Amino acid sequence: MVHNGIIENYNSLKKLLADKGITCQTDTDTEVLVQFIAYLYKEEKLSVVETIRLALNEVIGAYGIVVLCEDEPDTIISARLGSPLLMGIGENEYFVASDSSPIIEYTRNIVFLDEGELAVIRPDGYEVRNIKANEVISKDINKIQYNLEEIEKGGYDHFMLKEINEQAYTVSEAIRGRLNRDEMRVMLGGIYDWVHQILDAEHIYITACGTSWHAALIGSYILEELLNVPVKVEYASEFRYRVTAVNSNSVVICVSQSGETADTLAAIRKAKEKGALTLGIVNVVGSSISRETHCGVYIHAGPEIGVASTKAFTSQVTIFNLIGLLLADKKSINAEIYHSLMNDLERMPQLVQSVLDHGNDVSDIAQDFVNFSNFLYLGRGYQFPVALEGALKLKEISYIHAEGYPAAEMKHGPIALIDNDMPVVFIVTEKGYEKIVSNIQEVRARGGQIIIVSTELNDELKDYSDHIIHVPKVHHCLQSVLTNIPLQLLAYNIAVLKGCDVDMPRNLAKSVTVE
């Protein structure tokens, strides 16, 4: 048996097995499940499929499993609860995987298993059943549209670098077909029918994990600013267990690259139970979150293979701007703001490309910072989440401890850490310029090494640091797309210079499908 997930009642199953004289060789919950299936098979004398169905009805927890039994070597049985699972339907061959990217080289025809379903594959065909009711379920075959080139490295050393460099294209894909210049309108087919319900909502919550949570935080600033309603953002792992005020007048937006993150999925289910309208901002088409939300917007960034998320983040922020504009338009937003944001959205792909074209400046800077053990990232306003994301990228892939902070909060703690051994990355924009410059001076006075990512370029900043990365200025709601890219490149280059496994950092998973 292959198992992804957690069998929560494995201890009681293990005890039951022990009482029958069956000892497990390992401490894994996976072994308990396979031993339990084997025990029932011998005891009940049922078919393999029926035994597995029986066993799964006793299991509490999450699983995506694939099982083979030597008595029926031509049968592959797979089942899912809480963990993603799909079947690829090829020519005289079948595949079972948790994600479509490893199998699209062989087939584009995919059957997504839903919660509590079991699939039996035999040489002459397949059948899907409901584990509890044992009814046969007729499943649609979905055609996946990824190109093979999209999941190959395309000449880059790492997927992460390829994905960073794809961002002009992926941001253009997020916008494609969704901006109508002639009518100055945003069109998002995926939420169009729900616009009034969203605008009438009493609360907007946004929930996500990891990098998607950072995009969600920026999204909350955008929606609150453009719609003038309070927007709350929360880690899905907290939201799902906390007592919230979510009700049928709430909209819960969830952001997820994979569409499979267990906590985010659980957060949506909780929101739905409370009667909220759920809206997904998701990359992987057909993923669990995209299917379980009432409505949503795909970011269309293509497969993201590098564990550290890059292109998904910039596309998520882009989509938040589109959603903000679409909704604000219905609320009669100030025309000047509307037009300036529209114009900048349209220019984003070329502006992203211009930042990427200066990628070598960042690799030069990285050489000077490989041997530090700690970093601070500071930004204000929309650049605070960028500081968080910059710090996360560095710690994920280079194993250097890094913290992101709102720049003004520095004096409430982190300033105590600043000395010659503490590089500080500042993200400087026109908004709040004077204030952040005084934070830079505070760090300089204490000997901290300074790296500046800035939309401003002037002698004053040059006096403070030799390490300045300039990015073009755009509407502040979109600015983080551009300021984030040099920080992705900084983390990438430092990690490569340190010899780290950039695409598969230790202890991390691309898609966290268990709690």
Binding site for ligand BG6 (CB under 6 A): 209-212, 256-258, 261, 264, 307-309, 508, 510-512
Nearer to ligand UD1, 191 or 307 (CB): 191
Nearest-approach distance from CB 144 to ligand UD1, in angstroms: 10
| Cβ-contact 427, 482 below 8 angstroms | no
**At residue 145, what are phi and psi to the nearest 5 degrees?**
-105, 5
Q: Which of 298, 313, 377, 384 is close enough to bind ligand UD1 by CB under 6 A?
A: 298
Query: Shortest gap between Cβ of 285 and ligand UD1 (angstroms)?
Result: 5
C-beta of 211 vs 290, nearer to ligand BG6: 211
Q: How far is the CB of 452 from ligand UD1 (least distance, A)?
A: 37
Q: CB of 465: closest distance to ligand BG6 in angstroms?
A: 29
CA distance 294 to 277: 7
Number of residues in contact with ligand UD1 under rule CB under 6 A:
13
- 146, 309, 320 from 304: Cα distances, Å: 11, 7, 19
Three-state secondary-structure class, residue 5: strand
CA distance 307 to 459: 38
Q: Using CB distances below 5 to 8 A depending on partner kind, what does residue 189 bind out of ligand UD1, ligand BG6, none?
A: ligand UD1
Which of 88, 190, 423, 505 is in the footprint of ligand UD1 by CB under 6 A?
190
Angle at 43 between CA 41 and CA 47, to 5 degrees: 35
Note whether 227 binds ligand UD1 by CB under 6 A. Answer: no
Residue 315 interacts with which of ligand UD1, ligand BG6, none, CB < 5 to 8 Å by class? none
Q: Which two tokens stand for residue 424?
A: 């500080």
Counting contacts by CB under 6 A, is residue 280 touching ligand UD1?
yes
Minimum Å gap between C-beta 345 and ligand UD1 is 15
The binder of 90, among ligand BG6, ligand UD1, none, by C-beta within 5 to 8 A per type, is: none
By CB under 6 A, residue 322 contacts ligand UD1 = no
Q: b/e for 411-450, b at 16 or more Cβ within 10 A?
A: eeebbeebeeebbbbbbbbeebbeebbebbebbbeeebbb
Question: According to the binding rule CB under 6 A, does residue 189 interact with ligand UD1?
Answer: yes
Q: Is 369 in the site for ligand UD1 (CB under 6 A)?
A: no
Q: Which of 128, 295, 308, 327 binds ligand UD1 (CB under 6 A)?
A: 295
Q: Residue 258 binds which entry of ligand BG6, ligand UD1, none, with Cβ cut-offs from 5 to 8 Å by kind?
A: ligand BG6
Nearest 10 degrees: Cα torsion 218, 221, 226, 232: 110
275 binds, among ligand BG6, ligand UD1, none (CB under 5 to 8 A by kind): none
- 415 vs 512 by CB, closer to ligand BG6: 512
Residue 40 CB, shortest distance to ligand BG6, in Å, is 35
Q: Which residue has the tokens 């011998």?
A: 42
Contact flag: residue 258 with ligand UD1 (CB under 6 A): no
CB 515 within 8 A of CB 6: yes
Beta-carbon contacts of 269 under 8 Å, excluding residues fewer than 6 positions away, are: 292
From the list ligand BG6, ligand UD1, none, which binds 297 (C-beta under 5 to 8 Å, kind-based)? Answer: ligand UD1
Taking the alpha carbons at both ends of the chain, their separation in whole angstroms is 21
Least Cα distance to 471 among 43, 32, 255, 167 occurs for 167
CA separation for the pair 335, 212 (Å, rounded): 30
**Pure H helices in 228-334:** 236-239, 262-273, 288-292, 311-330
- The single residue among 237, 290, 455, 513 that binds ligand UD1, judged by CB under 6 A, is 290
Q: Does 144 bind ligand UD1 (CB under 6 A)?
A: no
User: Counting Cβ atoms within 10 Å, is residue 364 exposed (0-12), middle (13-18) or buried (19+)?
Assistant: exposed
**What values do phi and psi take at 225, rounded to 5?**
-70, -45
290 binds, among ligand UD1, ligand BG6, none (CB under 5 to 8 A by kind): ligand UD1
Comparing every residue's Cβ against ligand BG6, the nearest one is: 210
- Partner from ligand UD1, ligand BG6, none contacting 452, C-beta within 5 to 8 A by type: none
- Strands, E, within 55-154: which ranges? 61-67, 76-81, 86-89, 94-97, 109-112, 117-122, 125-130, 136-137, 142-143
Asked if 418 and 441 touch (Cβ cutoff 8 Å), the reply is no
> Which range touches ligand UD1 (CB under 6 A), out of 54-62, 74-82, 279-287, 427-435?
279-287
102 binds ligand UD1 (CB under 6 A): no
- Binding range to ligand UD1, per CB under 6 A, among 109-117, 290-298, 417-425, 456-464: 290-298
Binding residues vs ligand UD1 (CB under 6 A): 177, 189-190, 280, 282, 285, 289-290, 293, 295-298
